[in-house]
Amino acid sequence: MTVAILKESHHAETRAAMVPEHVAKLTALGARVEVEAGLGATCGHADEEYAAAGAAVRTDRAAMLAAADVILQVRKPSLSDAGLMREGAVFIGLLDPFQSPELIQALAARGLSAISMEMVPRSTRAQKMDVLSSQASLAGYASVIVAAAQSGKIFPMMMTPAGTIKPVKVFIIGAGVAGLQAIATAKRLGAKVEAFDTRPVVEEQVKSLGAKFVKIDVGETGQTADGYAKPLTEEQIQLQREGMTRVCAESDVVITTAQVFGRRAPILLTSSMLDAMRPGSVVVDLAVESGGNVEGVVPDQITDRNGVKIVGIANLPGRVPVHASQMYSSNITALLAEFWDKEAKALKLNLEDDILKSCLVTHGGKIVNEKLAALQT
């Protein structure tokens, strides 16, 4: 069975779907691994490393696509690449399926089995394959590093003969995987950290990291069985904005990470809230790729609004491509190993398996995920 690992076609992607360490694991399982030349150029791995791990390094992308049984990438394939894959092949990557109806339709029509890594369930068994969590942790870390680089202030308290400097105040909105890592990183840098989330269970987690939980009464909130936030009503969002305005105005750095799975991210920082912030403050919007939590945020730009910097970097895990690739690669390898038939030395998709039921989105010429199929009509 041939597993092909392709270079990313997205111009700003720095991650690679697999690192040499995991290529060696796949070859040990009996896979024939091919990597596109230059695969690891932006994440610290030369072609020679992949070759030493047992991969064949190839330059003919179209031929690789046409022959592979399994194709791995970080991001979704282009429509033209999808058109080159052979019927029955398995594509694994972050398909962004809710925003890509045309691609999902094309993958189904070509008889491809497409696995959407963002649809891997958040169960205990699937934890090692949970790309959303591994990449969100890194995004949380990177958001604080980016904020520190944009701020004119240092984060820790410093007592010097030249006077005492107060620690910066950081406010983190949304304390899921990314938010909790952002809290931990800001604390390590010495900031005074406050956080808010609509899921009540998060309060203890925030406090255990040494941050203060901001109390805002927005009425009944909760989470789904998968641990995701339930969407708020427009009235609840308005109450939340009112409750957060003072905290934002007093903060040097605000990091927003609030998302609701499968929907546009809620706008939590309005223009008037931004106007109430002090010049020199920094806002980092981690939700920018799903529409943004901050009014007026521009993807992949840092904008200045009356001295307040609004950072809209889309691919924050891509800022730390070495570890982001290592973790993504580990998640993918865990998925391949889980469904690998050792005797046949091949990937065998068990359609009755809970994990695959959730993340296999096209198979046998059809869109097999009900929610995605419904989007097509």
- The binding site for ligand NAD (CB under 6 A) comprises 122, 127, 130, 132-133, 136, 173-179, 196-199, 227-229, 232, 240, 257-261, 266, 268
Query: Which of 100, 116, 133, 205 is flagged as catalytic?
Result: 133
| Nearer of residues 26 and 202 to ligand NAD, judged by Cβ | 202
Active site residue 252: no
Per the CB < 8 A criterion, the answer to whether 304 and 312 are in contact is: no
CB of 205 to ligand NAD, least distance (A): 8
Adjacent-strand bridge partners of 36? 58
CB of 211 to ligand NAD, least distance (A): 14
Query: Which of 228, 305, 319, 353 is flagged as catalytic?
Result: 228
| Nearer of residues 261 and 339 to ligand NAD, judged by Cβ | 261
| Nearer of residues 34 and 285 to ligand NAD, judged by Cβ | 285
Kindly give the pairing relationship between strand 70-75 and strand 2-5: parallel
Q: What is the DSSP string of 11-62?
A: TT----S--HHHHHHHHHTT-EEEEETTTTTTTT--HHHHHHTTPEEE--HH
What tokens appear for 124 in the block?
């205990």
DSSP state of 294: B
| Nearer of residues 266 and 312 to ligand NAD, judged by Cβ | 266
Q: Which whole-number Å values give the CA distances from 278 to 36, 96, 256, 282, 319, in the listed order?
A: 48, 36, 17, 9, 27
In angstroms, the CA 64 to CA 242 distance is 55
CB of 163 to ligand NAD, least distance (A): 36
Query: Which of 130, 197, 252, 285 is flagged as catalytic?
Result: 130
∠ CA 285-287-288, rounded to 5°: 75
CB of 234 to ligand NAD, least distance (A): 11
In angstroms, the CA 221 to CA 278 distance is 31
CB-closest chain residue to ligand NAD:
176
Active site residue 127: yes
CB of 171 to ligand NAD, least distance (A): 11
In angstroms, the CA 360 to CA 370 distance is 11
Query: Which of 127, 150, 223, 319 is flagged as catalytic?
Result: 127
Adjacent-strand bridge partners of 166? none
Active site residue 133: yes
| Nearer of residues 6 and 119 to ligand NAD, judged by Cβ | 119
CB of 231 to ligand NAD, least distance (A): 7
Angle between helices 321-338 and 131-150 (to 10 degrees): 170
In angstroms, the CA 191 to CA 171 distance is 10
Active site residue 141: no
Active site residue 75: no
| Nearer of residues 34 and 197 to ligand NAD, judged by Cβ | 197
In angstroms, the CA 73 to CA 53 distance is 18
Catalytically annotated residues = 122, 127, 130, 133, 228
